[in-house]
Structure 1
Amino acid sequence: MLGMFMAAVEATIVATAMPSIVSDLGGFSLFSWVFSSYLLMQVVMIPIYGKLSDMYGRKVIFTIGITIFLFGSFLCGLSASIEFLILSRFIQGIGAGAVQPIATTIVGDIYTKEERAKIQGYLASVWGISSVLGPVLGGLFVAFVHWKWVFWVNIPFGILAMLGVIIYLQEDVEKEKKKIDYLGSGLLLISVSALMVILIQGGVYWSWSSPQIISLGFIVIMAVSLFIWQEKRAEDPVMSLSLWQHRLIALANVASLTLGAMLIGVSSFLPTYVQIVLDQPAIIAGFTLTMVSVGWPISSTLAGRWIISLGSRKTAMFGGISLLIGATIFLTLSIVQHPVWAGAGSFFLGAGMGFSTTTFIVSIQSSVSWRLRGVATASNMFMRLLGSALGVAMLGGILNSRMKQYLENMDHEEGLHIEPSLDVVNMLLDPIGREQFTDMERIVIQEGVTQSLNSVYIGVFILAVISFILIYSLPKTEPEQDKERE
């Protein structure tokens, strides 16, 4: 539970601290890479660690994963530039990929089937607690200590978790011969990385028709084609393509991709909006994001009850409607500029996530045989993480290109001496740097950030509409029986 708390809190605690990090290190244009690098490596490493733990035992792989994660966390706190921070986040992500799946597997190993339901409830509560504490802790560290502690706070938790597993976990390792699909994992890493570079840099540093973007586009097409070819022939693939022939699984997985993109879009950029545009402290920004964690467990609990009486599709529709309401609220933040309104949007987004994700998991697990249940569940979680990695890249790209375009247009205005560079946002976030601007210039830059983040929320709204359409398209017929015994 300590290990899972450490990995879970990292997803929310950093977002609240990002404005302070950018004011200290600069590099506003690389903002989204701080999230993307962590998520990307987590996505790629989760299936590899799962198989390594079957081969060499949970204890050794869990310990290696936490050690890498803590080393990355230590380096993050030492960062003197945004580039070094991004590299450190890559290392963190490599380690984080071991924590969640192996912690869940250890629970499966040491508890009986009857005890597991209760213990899984404890594990699920870790995610709820970390989602609430993460933004608040981030705000407190920024306000009273230093943003470096956002990363260094992991170290005591990680050491305790590691010592607990080393001392108390007794396991008889029956080494299984498993073939790890390293080629598939490598092709996935190449294709997603290249696509993320296109989404973040396209239209900002490279024009969409530049040789760099065209070359990267070719790499994406080639890597995806080779990935599909590899997954069809691999004995134990990273992603089982046969599952995608099932309509419910295919729709739920694509919807999970868009849900992951929506969630990370709000989690990554809402604290910055609240701090720059609404001019609120980091603690208030943290609380607006915390409302996601209030809506999620409430709707998740309701979904668990309503699935039986209403059916999966109707229950998921509550999620689709909540997502649209939340996205509409974010779309109107430029009109109703208040942190309470931002918190309301977060609440409905959380409610939508709870209704949708719970229904997807239950529906998927009920529609396949026991032998495929683990793989089918993992594929859905994998798609949500992949959506987060791609979503933060795409929405970060929108933010950068809109801000650059705005500053270039403002460059011709009389009385303004603002460099048409994204670095001016770094200066605005820095209490000393912002003194270099006149009141008029500060208002102009603030307006640019407002317009740019509003464009991000248009992207979030479009993702909500796509998610709603996918949920509406779920099969209307309910499974007549649970296929566990088949």
Structure 2
Amino acid sequence: MTRVGTADVGFRSERGPILASLMLTTSLVALDSTIIATAVFTIVGDLGGFASFPWLFSVYLLTQAVSVPIYGKLADIVGRKPVMMWGIALFLLGSVLCGLAWSMPALIAFRAIQGLGAGAVQPMSLTIAGDIYTLAERAKAQGYLASVWGISAVVGPTLGGLFSEYLSWRWIFFVNIPLCLIAAVVLWRNFDERHVRTPRTIDYAGAVLLTGGATLVILGLLEGGQAWAWSSPTGVGIFVVGGTLLAAFAVVETRAPDPILPLWVLTRRVLVASSLVSLLVGAVVLGLTTYVPTFAQGVLGTGALVAGFALATLTIGWPIAASRAGSLYLRFGFRATALGGSVLVSFGTGLTLMLSQSSAIWHVGLFCFVVGLGMGLVASPTLIAAQASVEWADRGVVTSTNMFARSIGSAVGVAVFGAIVAANISDPSAPAPGELADAVHLVFAGGFVCALVMVTAAALMPGRARPSTPTP
């Protein structure tokens, strides 16, 4: 039996430092997804390797995504705290090495180490929040964690520009050192996890096949149409090999005594619906965080700061709605709450289709706020429903599967939305405002379609009147 000391006591004062630590580590992971964007030219001017700089983003997202399922399983075997501490330590090591990088290949390799650390931090933050908070409280706590990502999408590029212009691009990574240490110390001292270890085998074959297959598929999505043509031998072959490895993984998991990713997570209704919603959330959020600032600056002519504030309204709406989601799903059930949220996301993304060159910037902010409200009512409740459907011993793998689905959604969003924009702009280096408006409008249309599918996914949630599990 496993007990988490902080959950037993139930005082907010004892759990507050843990949540603060989780938010801090999550912000580090999220910031390093975007903070390099405005420092690329400074880094290239120092290290060279302009043709390779996109890998600074791809390798981080790739290693993070493919390691998430493995960390989730390990957390169910050895406990959350060791996995989280390992993730923070690995992220810290990667940050130090990135700051000391002497060439672009070295920086890319060290970014991969950072990504491996991030792969532990993201799912463990949500899993620990699921462990220490009651069912009624989880939506608010996880809403705060989710909002960190949106805030980082706005703050990250700004910090990157400030560091590279006034200090050095290396401080983009060195600033993580004290923050990682603070988060680790606070978590170590306040998170009292008493885990009774039982003998369990590790599914090495499954881990290798899943990592290899997922790596190739996500790499194909991230780099297809950029590093190679979709229809080229490389573009086709990478998906064929990746798909073959994943098929072999499925076969191995049916025979493994303790599979790294139990196939029942892909068959239970609540888990499938939750993962599908998470995948679509990844796609919609990626589309908005990438192309709302582009639209605001390239079409409406605003500055970067104003464009960032317009997008930030999404992150304001998200925790506001999430803070109310707990009382809603306890009263009306997970499905009704998720349906309401997905309908609100559809309404908000539908409003973005009305944006044009004559729109005001406050229109953009308002529409993003509506989407954020919807996200707070659909993302957290569906994840919490998945967590509540299993015991502690499976909560890590369920949470990581949900996060893995969101990573896949983001990767698919990168590929599809990027291809849409590229196909509709004649000169990417200097797109005309009208042409850019039409291209981004198609991205907004894609987000609206994803939101409509999200409504269907939310409707697949089990239709209980109210959750049956009142506490962790």
Same fold judged by TM-score > 0.5? yes
Distance 2:55 2:351 in 1: 26
SS of residue matched to 2:464? coil
Q: 1:142 aligns with which of 130, 150, 161?
A: 161
Do structure 1's residue 96 and structure 2's residue 96 form an aligned pair? Answer: no
RMSD: 4.1
**1:201 CA drift (Å):** 4.2
What letter is aligned with 2:370? F
Partner of 1:459: 446
Query: Does residue 1:482 correspond to 2:462, yes or no?
Result: no
Please give the alpha-carbon distance, in whole angstroms, between the structure 2 residues aligned to 1:79 and 1:326. 43
Could you list the per-position Cα deviations for residues 155-206 of structure 1 after superposition, in whole angstroms to 9, with x for gaps in the alignment?
2101223345667878888665333333333333333333334334444554
Give the structure with higher Rg (CA). 1
Q: Map residues 88-237 of structure 1 onto 2, 5 A cutoff.
A: 88-102=110-124, 125=144, 127-128=146-147, 131-132=150-151, 135-136=154-155, 138-139=157-158, 141-143=160-162, 146=165, 149-164=171-186, 176-204=198-226, 206-237=228-259
Are the structure 2 counterparts of residues 161 and 303 from structure 1 closer, same or farther at C-alpha, using a change threshold of 3 Å? closer
Question: Of 266, 291, 298, which residue of structure 1 is paired with 2:313?
Answer: 291
Name the SS for the 1:342 alignment partner: helix
Cα distance change, pair 63–44 in 1 and its aligned pair in 2 (3 A): same
Task: In structure 2, give the amino acid aligned to 1:6.
Answer: T
Tell whether the 8 Å contact from 1:138 to 1:150 is kept in structure 2 after alignment. Answer: no
Gaps of 5+ in 1: 408-421, 426-441
Q: Which amino acid aligns with 2:155?
A: V
Give me the TM-score of the superposition, normalised by structure 2.
Answer: 0.77
1:316 Cα deviation from its structure 2 partner: 1.7
Query: How far apart, CA to CA, are the structure 1 residues paired with 2:331 and 2:174?
Result: 47
SS where residue 179 of structure 1 aligns?
coil
Aligned residue pairs total 446
* Cα distance in 2 between the residues matched to 1:369 and 1:142: 45
Paired AA for residue 286 in structure 1: G
State the Cα deviation string for residues 199-237 of structure 1 (Å, max 9, x = none): 344445544432222212311321221121122222332
Distance 1:329 1:388 in 2: 22
- Deviation, 1:447, is 5.4
Q: In 1, are the aligned partners of 2:127 and 2:399 still within 8 Å (CA)?
A: no
Asked if the contact 1:142–1:282 (Cα under 8 Å) also holds between the matched residues in 2, the reply is no
- Amino acid of the residue matched to residue 461 of structure 1? F
Change (3 A) 1:245 1:140: closer
CA deviations over 1:257-311 (Å, ceiling 9, x no partner): 1112211232244334434444433322332222122111122233222223333
1:257 aligned residue (273, 279, 282): 279
C-alpha distance in structure 2 between counterparts of 1:302 and 1:240, whole Å:
33
Q: Per the alignment, do residues 19 and 272 of structure 1 end up closer, same or farther by CA in structure 2, a change over 3 Å counting? A: farther
Deviation at 1:5, TM superposition (A): 1.4
Matched, 1:271 2:293: yes
Distance in 2 (CA, whole Å) between partners of 1:173 and 1:362 is 22
Other-structure match for 1:392: 414
2:339 is matched with which residue: 288, 300, 317? Answer: 317
The one-letter amino acid paired with 1:292 is L
- Judge conservation of contact 1:257–1:387 (CA < 8 Å) in 2: yes
Question: Aligned equivalents of 1:265 and 1:271: distance in 2?
Answer: 10
Q: 1:71, 1:354 → 2: CA distance?
A: 33
2:87 is matched with 65
Percent identity over the alignment is 33
Structure 2 Cα separation of the partners of residues 76 and 269 of structure 1: 28
1:333-482 equivalences in 2 (<5 Å): 333-365=355-387, 367=389, 375-403=397-425, 406-407=426-427, 425=429, 442=430, 444=432, 449-475=436-462, 477-478=463-464, 482=468
The answer to whether the Cα contact below 8 Å between 1:42 and 1:96 also exists between their aligned partners in 2 is: yes
Structure 2: runs of 5+ lacking an equivalent: 1-19
Match of 1:436 in 2: none
Which amino acid in 1 is paired with 2:71?
Y
